[in-house]
Structure 1
Amino acid sequence: MPTPQKLPIVYVRGFAGDTAGIDKAVTDPFYGFNEGSTHIRIGPDNEPNFYQFESPLLRLHLDEGYQILVDGSQAIYLNSHATIPPESIWIHRFYDVSASTWSGRPKEFRMETAATDLLTLIDTIREKSGAPRVHLVAHSMGGLVCRCLIQKILPDLGRDPAECVGKLFTYGTPHGGITFDFGFGMLERLRDAIGVNGGQIFGPEHMYRYLTPESVADPDGRPEGWDPCEMPPDRPFAFPHDRVFCLIGTNPADYDVARGLSAAVVGPRSDGLVQIDNAYVPGAHQACVHRSHSGRYGIVNSEEGYQNLRRFLFGDREVKVALVGHRLPQRQDMAWQAEVGLSVRGLQIVMHERSSAHWCPVQLRDGTRSVTAGGRPTEAVTDADGAVPLVDTFLCSNLAPPGDTSTMRYALHLRILSLRESNGLLNFGDHLEQTADFDDILVVDVGADGATSVPALSAVWNSAISGSIRDYRPGSHARDDENPGTDSWVNHIELPHTAVPLVGADARLRLTVTPWR
């Protein structure tokens, strides 16, 4: 399989707030993309171990051979060089003109202006690098700047965004705006009316204006039921959902202490600023990580964020896992949830994690669909078997751990839990807290040879492995392709017999592996 082409990367930072916040943001030469983190974890004998994440900027230098090119400024470098390498990182410094430290007459920040300036930067980079497109990597509001470019600015110019943007990766972007957990909408209306620190840009009226091209905009304003999360696929020049990845933070507790009021107002189902239900584009790739919006345990300066970013941009295979064919026990007073966690051999973090403790379990419906607590489907379900998406991730065949390059090993932790209700309230009469009705780990080994699109794959449940998982070697658990003759590799894996009383004898985990470039 050919190695994916390295494209220039443009980083777009998030919201800085008022003038004081903007003045602070522009003092950073890389707008925060260079910030790393340190923390500890418990190791042997309960001793704390130090862990260091260098920053996405440095890691892309070290792991993927990227450069950041500065000669007094990146703008000066671009102006003084006729050619630049494609393997380069560029910072969209859209806030500079709005800083009072730059001049005595700072310009008011406007989303459309930031998006238009981003297009100018992209066109310059493409011309001088010879790269057909650039990748956009954005934190928070930066993802909305990118969507304004993709959904409004480029279509209004009659240009196809897919011809200049390769992939869009967002960290903690409020795709659905920023809403609050109480106040019955009054706090949002007050914010949007008086524009507290410029926060009105996260309200639906403003979002409709900068996410809707003039050719389809309703002259009477935002239509009823309009959803800002949507990137409509039926519009002219629609950007493919397959080229968008939304990383969702699920840890409100570790948001900056000084911003603790924000976490309290937004609510627990959030990263401290952006609610989980607002943090993704329906139909796009997504993963949940237990990280906060920013700060010491922020989503950008995290190993979890970087590993998802790296595999999405440079991976060569996509793997999807869905629960299909399940039939839950028919009880009006019973609700069902699934918890999932995806671990990769050689990494010290969990790539994707949805759990009750993190306020984001997968809500199961009887063979129909998976929904969020807010009611929006996590993914459109078109399969007759009512697929419930569990994992959507990417593999890099060149990232097999040193000393064992025969396979890439992944572990999918699956737990199924039941909750009993009575008159709309949870009934704890026969409840065992944090105890799942089903709990097992699917160990998947994928051939690390990237020369072929058809993987050699084996899968076995941990309950069938004797001894340590690390000592297990795939042998008799090889899986055949149920979809031969195409690029898509498919196999349905039976659940252990202990799960049959819960999900039925026909329940399977469907693994789908396809080439990714």
Structure 2
Amino acid sequence: MTHHYPIIYIRGFAMRASERDETAADPFCGFNVGSTVYRAVESRNKLADKMVFESPVVRLMSEFQYQHVYQNGFDIMDGDWQPARDENGNVIPGIAPASIIILRYYDDGSDLLGDGRSRNVLEYAQKLNEVILTVRQRVAEYLHNGQQVMPEADFKCYLVAHSMGGLVARAFLQGAPLGLPHAYTEARATVDKFFTFATPHNGIDMLGMNVPYWFTAAQANTFNRNYMRDYLNLGNLSPAFNGRVDLIPSSAFPINRVFCMVGSNRGDYEVLKGAVRAFVGHGSDGLVRIDNASLWGVQTDPHGALVEGSQQPAATAYAYRSHSGYFGIVNSEEGYQNLTRFLFGDVRVDVYLEVSSVSLPQEVQDAVDDGRTLEAGYQFEFRAAPKGKRWFLTRRQSVEDSPACRSHEELTQPGHGPCTVYLSSVFLAKRAKVDKSPALSYAMAFAAKVPDYVIERRFWMDGHFEGADLFRGTAIVELTPPADAASTSPWHVKLWWLNANIDAVEAQVLFSANTPSFDIRLPFDQPDRPGISGCLRLTVQPWA
């Protein structure tokens, strides 16, 4: 069953007082910004394509009947707020569950509504706690035909955040006020799903260095990993991951209820006339590096120590979008589609690459057999697009600095079986179908690129063709739910490569408490040298 719980939106970082003023003056803090431009290719020398995206707020209201909660010029956190009235002037108590609430954490730090002083991320987390509890109360007050719609005991909410807003949410989910470890427990239990747009989960790096701890201007050290380790309560876990902080323990929030939307278009991030993107460098959205923008879930024992081998990636998708601006990730069709499919979709598909073997050019193999050292980095591209659409649900390409990467050593470790690489997650929704077919369908394009072979620290040029593929193919995925929607009826899953002499793979899947998900594998093989063989593994599960 799909629920339309309240969406609490948390915007990103505003460094200068003028930016905080702009945020305070905007009722929806940027969630109401749309766009009419789209880059189908990575080149900025070509004109953008026209694609009208009205804004997340407008689309959520028109497609899912969400409502805002402002009344008579007041927010629900204001003491003078009063509920809406119907066409006869009667009070409609509370707010509907399908409401959009903005965490207005920059109001107090603006010159327009406050003292112009930025606050600490921990203060913003406390404010989020207060907002959630207030929203729960207001939703419990809401009546439809005289009946309570959602009692406090049944209340849930969605957290949706852009950039630093995701760190505010994580400080709430993972941290706590000093000396009050259980202060947020009640509100945390109400969070059903957590979605982030371009959040620097592992901090922000410029010129190859993490933002320093001493850089406290406007709380910019919020993105320092040492400080993040403290306010995210990762002191016991971060050292085991070389100081990384893109971790969320299962005791704080389940990783399978988290989605990370990652941008890869640095070229259109125009802050400070492009200086910021120059400092951040390639492999970013202009501000946040791609490898810092997703999350990993980990299991801990009762003492808070890491359970070895428990790492699991959050659902992640990639888009050729910049951190913000005309080509920004929040004001994009790709971001919105992933958001709504994650919140309200019907099927979840996590896509993994399993590499069984790789072969080298004969001359390179001879050098390895002679005991010479080899360095080779493999790049894996992946795209997924639903039927009848102009955009991708996820887009990982080498030219956009977003492929999955593994070394030759990682792919060929003896005795470890196939090397598994997480590629992306795709959520499908029945309401998004474009034809009468009962199947939920999408195409996925996969490519394994020929690496640069480096022998004894010298690039091997003989036989090298830049941009060549070890394997490239496009597959179709069809997921057909049972016609009667009964839990005792199976799903039909079918996938096949286009233009390849490989049989389609089909399965009847009956999901149950004992079988909540199902793995189906689509093999591929390039037997010639250099070559690769393996499969794409799709983990399919109903979603709600």
Compare 405-414 and 134-143 and name the one that shifted more: 405-414
- Measure, in 1, the Cα distance between the counterparts of 2:40 and 2:421: 34
Out of 222, 246, 249, which is 1:229 matched to?
A: 246
Out of 272, 281, 286, which is 1:267 matched to?
A: 281
Equivalent pair of 1:481/1:490 in contact (CA under 8 Å): no
Q: Does 1:96 align with 2:138?
A: no
Equivalent pair of 2:354/2:536 in contact (CA under 8 Å): yes
Partner in structure 2 of residue 172 of structure 1 = 198
In structure 1, the gaps of 5 or more residues are 371-382, 466-475
Indicate how the Cα distance of structure 1 residues 389 and 223 shifts in structure 2: closer, same or farther if over 3 A, else same.
closer
Q: Does 1:136 align with 2:165?
A: no
Q: Does 1:240 align with 2:254?
A: yes
One-letter amino acid of the structure 1 residue matched with residue 397 of structure 2: S
Partner in structure 2 of residue 443 of structure 1 = 476
Q: Give SS of 1:404's match.
A: coil
Partner in structure 1 of residue 423 of structure 2 = 390
Report 1:366-515 matches (<5 A). 385-401=418-434, 403-419=435-451, 420-424=453-457, 426-447=459-480, 451=485, 454-464=490-500, 477=504, 479-481=506-508, 486-495=515-524, 502-504=531-533, 507-515=534-542
- Write 1 or 2 for the structure with the bigger share of helix: 1
TM-score under structure 1 length normalisation: 0.84
TM-score under structure 2 length normalisation: 0.80
1:368 CA displacement? 5.4
1:223 CA displacement? 9.8
- Measure, in 2, the Cα distance between the counterparts of 1:55 and 1:328: 45
**Cα deviations by residue, 1:360-387 (Å, 9 ceiling, x for unpaired):** 21113569579xxxxxxxxxxxx95432
**Cα deviations by residue, 1:105-130 (Å, 9 ceiling, x for unpaired):** 34431111111111111111112213
Indicate how the Cα distance of structure 1 residues 478 and 418 shifts in structure 2: closer, same or farther if over 3 A, else same.
closer
One-letter amino acid of the structure 2 residue matched with residue 36 of structure 1: G
Indicate how the Cα distance of structure 1 residues 499 and 110 shifts in structure 2: closer, same or farther if over 3 A, else same.
farther
Equivalent pair of 1:253/1:263 in contact (CA under 8 Å): yes
Partner in structure 1 of residue 330 of structure 2 = 300
1:286 CA displacement? 0.8
In structure 2, the gaps of 5 or more residues are 84-92, 141-149, 297-312, 366-373
1:456 CA displacement? 1.4
1:140 CA displacement? 0.2
- Measure, in 2, the Cα distance between the counterparts of 1:33 and 1:57: 6
1:437 CA displacement? 2.3
- Provide the alpha-carbon RMSD of the alignment: 3.2
Q: Percent of counterpart pairs with the same letter?
A: 32
Compare 418-427 and 153-162 and name the one that shifted more: 153-162
Q: Give SS of 1:198's match.
A: helix
Q: Give SS of 2:399's match.
A: coil
Equivalent pair of 1:438/1:499 in contact (CA under 8 Å): no
One-letter amino acid of the structure 1 residue matched with residue 443 of structure 2: A
Equivalent pair of 1:340/1:413 in contact (CA under 8 Å): yes
One-letter amino acid of the structure 1 residue matched with residue 245 of structure 2: P
Equivalent pair of 2:492/2:508 in contact (CA under 8 Å): no
Partner in structure 2 of residue 211 of structure 1 = 232
**Cα deviations by residue, 1:224-265 (Å, 9 ceiling, x for unpaired):** 9432211133xxx42111111111111110102535111111
**Cα deviations by residue, 1:14-64 (Å, 9 ceiling, x for unpaired):** 001021221122111110000000126789xx9986320001111111121
One-letter amino acid of the structure 2 residue matched with residue 90 of structure 1: I
Q: Give SS of 1:118's match.
A: helix
One-letter amino acid of the structure 2 residue matched with residue 203 of structure 1: N
**Cα deviations by residue, 1:144-194 (Å, 9 ceiling, x for unpaired):** 000000001385426166521111100000111111234xx4x733xx324
Q: Give SS of 2:199's match.
A: coil
- Write 1 or 2 for the structure with the bigger share of strand: 2
Indicate how the Cα distance of structure 1 residues 78 and 144 shifts in structure 2: closer, same or farther if over 3 A, else same.
farther
Indicate how the Cα distance of structure 1 residues 241 and 251 shifts in structure 2: closer, same or farther if over 3 A, else same.
same
Equivalent pair of 2:386/2:441 in contact (CA under 8 Å): yes
1:198 CA displacement? 2.8
Equivalent pair of 2:39/2:320 in contact (CA under 8 Å): no
- Measure, in 2, the Cα distance between the counterparts of 1:511 and 1:488: 10
1:94 CA displacement? 0.5
One-letter amino acid of the structure 1 residue matched with residue 132 of structure 2: I
Equivalent pair of 1:169/1:244 in contact (CA under 8 Å): yes
**Cα deviations by residue, 1:398-420 (Å, 9 ceiling, x for unpaired):** 2211x333222211101111222
Q: Does 1:201 align with 2:222?
A: yes
Partner in structure 2 of residue 285 of structure 1 = 315
Compare 490-499 and 455-464 and name the one that shifted more: 490-499
Equivalent pair of 2:349/2:427 in contact (CA under 8 Å): yes
